[in-house]
Structures are given as structure tokens and as C-alpha cells.
Amino acid sequence: MPRIKLLDARLANQIAAGEVVERPSSVVKELLENCLDAGANSVEVDIEAGGAKLIRVRDNGCGIDKEDLLLALDRHATSKITKLEELEAVKSLGFRGEALASVASVSRMSLTINSQAQGSGWQTSNDSGNGEFALSPAPHPRGTTVVVRDLFFNTPARRKFLRTEKTEFNHIEEVIKRQALSRFEVSFQLRHNQRVVHHLRAGQQMMERERRVAQICGPAFMENALHVDAEAAGLRLWGWVALPTFSRSQADLQHFYVNGRVIRDKLVGHAVRQAYRDVLYHGRHPAFVLYLELDPANVDVNVHPTKHEVRFRDGRTVHDFLFRTLHQALAEVRPRTHAVVDLAVSESAPGQLASQQQMPLQQHYRPAQPVSQIGEQMAAYRSLHESVLDSAVETLNADFDPARQEQQAQHLENSSANPLSHLSTKLTSEASEIPPLGYAIAQLKGIYILAENSDGLIVVDMHAAHERITYERMKAARLSDGIKRQPLLVPQAMAVSQKEADYAEQFITVFQQLGLEIQRAGDESLVVRQVPILLSRADIEQLVRDVLADLIEHGSSDRIQSHIDEILSTMACHGAVRANRRLSIEEMNALLRTMEQTERGGQCNHGRPTWVGLRMADLDKLFLRGR
């Protein structure tokens, strides 16, 4: 073992940076937090090359005294707390005194400050690259500018982990948006490669706040959101929650703040999910912007270096409060209600709740539609695809070859007269000609087809089998004919975020292939002009939003395809032969033959088996018959 030595300060800082500075956006996060802690009401962020080349954050906060400037760059140097008791009730975003030291150790950094209303400022930088900071006068209005160049230039391992300029910038954008949602009184400006990407004006009025939320989360979120504001047991929860019908395919529109701090917390996530549970389709994610306020002494923020996690002193109460507030807010929703939920009133009139719980779920595009709607859909589909549907039903009879019918009739005669003699003939000469599902013998209770094959008995669930056949035929027809589309009588305009609009534009041909004709109509709006016929009754807006979320997250989406399949499947289910319908032997045989030719013919659309076989050996066992 080598001797033990103290790490030098620079190396220690670089190691600490490993925890705090993962990528350019983490630098932006730390610098923004410092601006907000300094009481700034205006923050400007300049980024070049996704932040790898340059990050400049400028604020009009309190600045730093010249005497403290060099100290601010030391590890464990902070103006925010001095003793443990203060940590226990900390109100500032920072308190660890690590960020500047960490960032400085893995970049070329400069700080320009002025703590006075007048006078010029001071600058310090380690541009020399040897880790030393020098002090010199420099003009600066009251406030602070931090410039970080060439991030990770001296830690190549970290630099290698940087993604494309676009990806890194997206992360930065996210950080700014999240922070901007927490401080309506601060204006934020973000530029990338000299271009203004976001300019968010300050404003504390309700309308100004809602304007910012709409700018960040998209206007549609705001239009579909309920405003919540509730207080109990020293806790206050306020903000906006989207109606269940505005659910997302990804958990990408969820912002939660505890005392102004951006957090991701299991307990919070659970309480919110639970509140949405009986109103949200399985696999969907709610959208919300929520602020929890409580006595800082009741929440521990010193849980993780990036301070994304917190620990509540009384987690139970917090969970309960969140759940009850949101659950109640959602229970109050009537179709197309956007009013502020007045919890005080509803508490005094609990009897009204039950009747108001009706959710506008049928607007949702997912397949759980009321049967009447499916009927209508089928009618529409039938008129356009008559041949497909009919052939699906008719082939059950039409696939029948008269020559083989005779042969089959022969078999049937044999089998009904003397199954064993039939079996022996089969075993000798015809075994290879007997189709896998054999020949129908009888129908049981109008539900099952009994058939005999070379191994023994086959039992077929008529409805399940027909359903699968119909479904597969519909899919095949769609594949060969392409997705049928239909122009909308009134093109549907939709408000989206700029990012979503960018993606829609970029993937315009992908949408076209899926039968959707979309155009960009402005910075933050799209127009849908054509939709797949099968989806003409679906919630197209929701579908487009989901596809965009998929594209942004994964770069691809199979949502439209699978949604069309889901509809076909539902239609197939409703179109399939019902129980108790008597089929002739011929019809049954036709069904068996078609099953054999159908892909996935072994299970119905819901995954249940369409047939089971009982071999002679199995039957022998049932009768304890030795051979």
C-alpha cells in the first residue's frame, strides 16, 4: 500500500464535480440557483455549442463583494448558512458551497461582479488554465456574470460522455423551463448560438403566470388544466393539473416544486398517480405543474448533492394531503370544466360529489369506446371496406372446395359411424392428408366445434377463432391497400409547443405515411388536414400529441399503427360470430381450414386460445385405459 496523502484542492474539487457537474445543463442549473438565491429578477443565459463551448449566466442580483470574490471559488465556501440549525430550515436553493469550486475545476471560468448600485466591478478568471485565479477591475452593473468555457477540457473522460449539441441544449432548455416555472417574478432569457430561444417575462398576476405556464408547457396544457389551491395542516398545494383526458404517453409534463425547489420524489409521484388512478387509462401519465409549500423545517433538502430529492418529516401527512387535494379536484371535473376548483365549497357539500364524477373519458382516443360508438365506426368502415369485412365473413363458407367437401363428408360419415375404423384408415394411408385441425364432427352448445384429427379430438372456440380470422384479414387488407385516408371537413388547428411543432415539421413524411396530413401553421401551432378513415372518430389531437411525445423521446412511434390495429381488433371482436349461432358442418369445416391458414390463428385477439387438442392418449388416461 502506498502512503496516505491529502488530495490537493484541485483534484478534490474535480472529484466533487463528478457528482454535481454531469453535463452542461448541470452547470446551468447550479448557476441559475445562485442567481435566484442572490435575489435577481432578471437572468440571461447564453449558450454556445450546446454549452460545451460556452455557458454565460448573467443576473442583476446582489453580486459578491470584491473581498469575497476569491473565497466564493473555494470548496465549502458559502454565504447561505453558518450553522447546523440554519441548514435545518434552509430557504435558499444552495447551501453546500461546492458548485463554483466544482465547475471551476473542470472548465475555464470567469466571474465578473458588482455588489454596488454604482461603480465599476471586478473580475476574476482561471483562463490561464493552471487553476489560479487573478483579480482585475472590470465594468459590470450590479449583479454577477459567470462565464464557463470549454467544460471538461481537462477531464477528457467526462468530455467523451457529452452528446450532440442539440441534445445537450435540450437538457439546458429543460433546466431553464423547470426553474422558470418556479419563479414567476423573475424574467428569463435563453440564447443559443446568439439566437433568442426563450424570453419569459416576469409577472405575478394570475394571467401572467398562466401565460408563462402556457409558454413552457404548451397552450393546450393550460386550456385543459384545472387550477388547484388548497391549504391544510400547514401545507399548501397550488398549481395546475391537466384533466385526465389530456394525459400523456410519457411522464414528460410533470413539474413539482417543494418550496420553490425542483424535485423528483417517489412519495409525491405516488400520491399523484393514486389521485389519477380511476380516471386515467392504464399506461397513461398525468400532466401537472404543482407547488407544495411548507415550513422548511419540515423538509430535509440535504439528501442528495444535486438536491433533486427531499425527505419530508411527516411523509404520511404530505402524501395524504396531496392525494386528497388532487383526487377531490379531479372528482369535481365535469366535461369541459376549466373553472378553479373551490375546495372549501365542495367540502361543505360532499353529497354532490358522486354525481359529478363523470369524466369526459369518451373523448379519449383509446379503444375502450362505448359499444354504440363501435357500431357507428363499423358502419362507417363497412361502407368503405365492404369487401374486406364481407369477405372475412364469407370466406368462412367460400373457402370451401366441393371436391374436398365430398372427401370430408366421407370422413364425417366414417367418424360418426365408427370413429375407430376411421382412425385406423387414417393411420395407414391418409394420415398426411388430414388437416391439423381435422374435420368437424359436431357443435357443442352453440359455442364449441368438436373436430377429429389424426391425433384425436379438437375443441375450437368458435367466436375466438372467427375473431382472430377477421382481425388478421382486416390487417392484411390494410397492408395491401395502404392506410385509407380522408380529408377533414374542417381542418383541425392545434396549439403545441415550439419544440413539438419543430418535430412535427421534421417528421412530416412519417405522419403522411401513417395517413395524417399535418402542416405547421405558426411557431406554436399545427393544422391537421387529413386523417386515417379508421381514426376519423378518434381524438386526433391527443393522438398527434402522443406521437410527438414518442418522437421527441424515442425518435419513432408505432402509436398510429397500433391504434388502428386496436380498432380493427375491436371491430373484429364485434363482427365475429356470436355464441349460440348454429353452424353447419360445412361452415365449421370452412372455419377450421381458414384457421389453419391464419397467422396467429392459435389465439384470439385478447390472447386466449382458439382451440385445444385432446389426443387419444390423453383420452385414454381419462378413462384409465391402458394400451
Residues near ligand ADP, by CB under 6 A? 30, 34-35, 38, 59, 61-64, 72, 77-80, 94-101, 144
Residues in the chain, overall count: 627
**Binding at 80: pick from ligand ADP, Mg ion, none (beta carbon under 5-8 Å per type):** ligand ADP
Minimum separation from the CB atom of position 490 to ligand ADP (A): 51
Q: Quick check: 61 binds Mg ion (CB under 5 A)?
A: no
Q: Is 35 or 47 the residue whose CB approaches ligand ADP more closely?
A: 35
Partnered with residue 225 across adjacent β-strands are 242
CB of 43 to ligand ADP, least distance (A): 9
Out of Mg ion, ligand ADP, none, what residue 589 binds, judged by CB under 5 to 8 A for its kind, is none
Name the binder of 72 from ligand ADP, Mg ion, none, CB < 5-8 A by kind: ligand ADP
Beta carbon of residue 358, minimum distance to Mg ion (angstroms, whole number): 49
User: Nearest residue by C-beta to Mg ion?
Assistant: 94
Q: How far is CA 176 from each of CA 57, 78, 172, 307, 473, rounded to the nearest angstrom?
A: 11, 23, 6, 16, 50
Helices (DSSP H) in 184-224: which residue ranges? 206-217, 219-223
Instruction: Report the nearest approach of ligand ADP to the CB of residue 569 (Å).
Output: 56
* Identity of the residue, 32 or 437, whose beta carbon is nearer to Mg ion in the bound complex: 32
Contact indicator for 214, 221 with CB cutoff of 8 Å: yes
Question: CA–CA separation, 439 vs 457, rounded Å?
Answer: 10
Report the partner that residue 510 touches, choosing among ligand ADP, Mg ion, none (CB closer than 5 to 8 A by kind): none
* Secondary structure class of 359 (helix, strand, coil): coil
Select the residue whose beta carbon is closest to ligand ADP and give its number. Answer: 94
- Indicate the residue among 103 and 242 with the shorter CB distance to Mg ion: 103
69 binds, among Mg ion, ligand ADP, none (CB under 5 to 8 A by kind): none
Q: Which is nearer to ligand ADP, 104 or 359 (CB)?
A: 104
395 binds Mg ion (CB under 5 A): no
Q: For the CB of residue 174, give the shortest distance to ligand ADP in the complex, in Å.
A: 20
Cross-sheet strand order for the sheet of 235-242: 225-232, 235-242, 288-293, 254-258, 261-262
User: Counting contacts by CB under 5 A, is residue 94 touching Mg ion?
Assistant: yes
Closest CB 105 distance from ligand ADP, rounded Å: 11
Q: From CA 502, how far away is CA 507, in angstroms rounded?
A: 9
Distance in angstroms (rounded) separating the CA atoms of residues 326 and 316: 16
Q: For residues 555 and 449, is the Cβ–Cβ distance under 8 A? A: no
Per the DSSP assignment, residues forming a β-bridge with 375 are: none
CB of 54 to ligand ADP, least distance (A): 17
Per partner kind, with CB cut-offs from 5 to 8 A, the member of ligand ADP, Mg ion, none near residue 35 is ligand ADP
DSSP letters spanning 112-164: EEE-SSSS-EEEEE-TTSSS--EEEEE---SEEEEEEESTTTT-HHHHHT---
User: What pairs with residue 242 in β-bridges?
Assistant: 225
Nearer to Mg ion, 37 or 265 (CB): 37
Q: To the nearest whole angstrom, how small is the minimum distance from the Cβ of residue 308 to ligand ADP?
A: 15
The x, y and z cell numbers of residue 177, run together, are 423551463
Separation of alpha carbons 302 and 550, rounded Å = 35
**15 and 21 Cβ atoms separated by less than 8 Å:** no
Contacts of 506 (CB under 8 A, 6+ apart): none
Closer residue to ligand ADP in complex, CB, 81/527: 81
Distance CA 398, CA 593 (A): 11
Q: Does 26 bind Mg ion (CB under 5 A)?
A: no
Tell me whether residue 33 or residue 524 sits nearer to Mg ion (CB atom).
Answer: 33
Closest separation between CB of residue 154 and Mg ion, Å? Answer: 22
Maximum separation of any 2 CA atoms in the chain, in Å:
113
Q: What is the 3-state secondary structure (H, E, C) of 500-558?
A: HHHHHHHCHHHHHHCCCEEEEEECCEEEEEEEEHHHCCCCHHHHHHHHHHHHHHHCCCC
The number of CA neighbours under 13 Å toward the Cβ of 347 is 8
Residue 95 binding result from Mg ion, ligand ADP, none, given CB thresholds of 5 to 8 Å by partner type: ligand ADP
Helix 266-276 × helix 315-331 angle, to 10°: 30
d(C-alpha 471, C-alpha 453), whole Å? 26
Coarse DSSP helix, strand, coil percentages of the chain, rounded to the nearest 5 percent: 45, 20, 35
* Residues touching Mg ion, count (CB under 5 A): 3
Q: Which is nearer to ligand ADP, 63 or 121 (CB)?
A: 63
Choose from ligand ADP, Mg ion, none: what does 62 bind? Cβ within 5-8 Å by kind.
ligand ADP
Of 62 and 434, CB closest to ligand ADP: 62
**Shortest distance, CB of residue 303 to ligand ADP, whole angstroms?**
15
Nearer to ligand ADP, 25 or 34 (CB): 34
CB of 179 to Mg ion, least distance (A): 13
**Window contacting Mg ion (CB under 5 A); options: 94-102, 126-134, 237-245, 358-366:** 94-102
**Helices and strands, number each (H, E), in the chain:** 23, 22
Query: Which residue in 34, 114, 395, 408 binds Mg ion (CB under 5 A)?
Result: 34
Q: Cβ 94 to Mg ion, closest distance in Å?
A: 3
Closer to Mg ion by CB, 44 or 500: give it.
Answer: 44
Contact status: 575 vs Mg ion (CB under 5 A): no
CA distance 321 to 290: 13
Measured from the CB atom, the residue of 100 and 235 that comes closer to ligand ADP is: 100
* Residue with Cβ nearer ligand ADP (17 or 241): 17
Binding at 38: pick from ligand ADP, Mg ion, none (beta carbon under 5-8 Å per type): ligand ADP
Strands 121-125 and 517-522: unpaired
Select from 33-41, 45-53, 102-110, 361-369 the region that touches Mg ion (CB under 5 A). Answer: 33-41
Q: What residue 59 binds from ligand ADP, Mg ion, none (CB within 5 to 8 A, per partner kind)?
A: ligand ADP
Q: How many CB atoms lie within 10 A of CB 424?
A: 10
Which cell numbers in the block locate residue 453?
384429427
Find the shortest distance in angstroms from Cβ 31 to Mg ion.
8
* Residue ranges that bind Mg ion, judged by CB under 5 A: 34, 94, 99
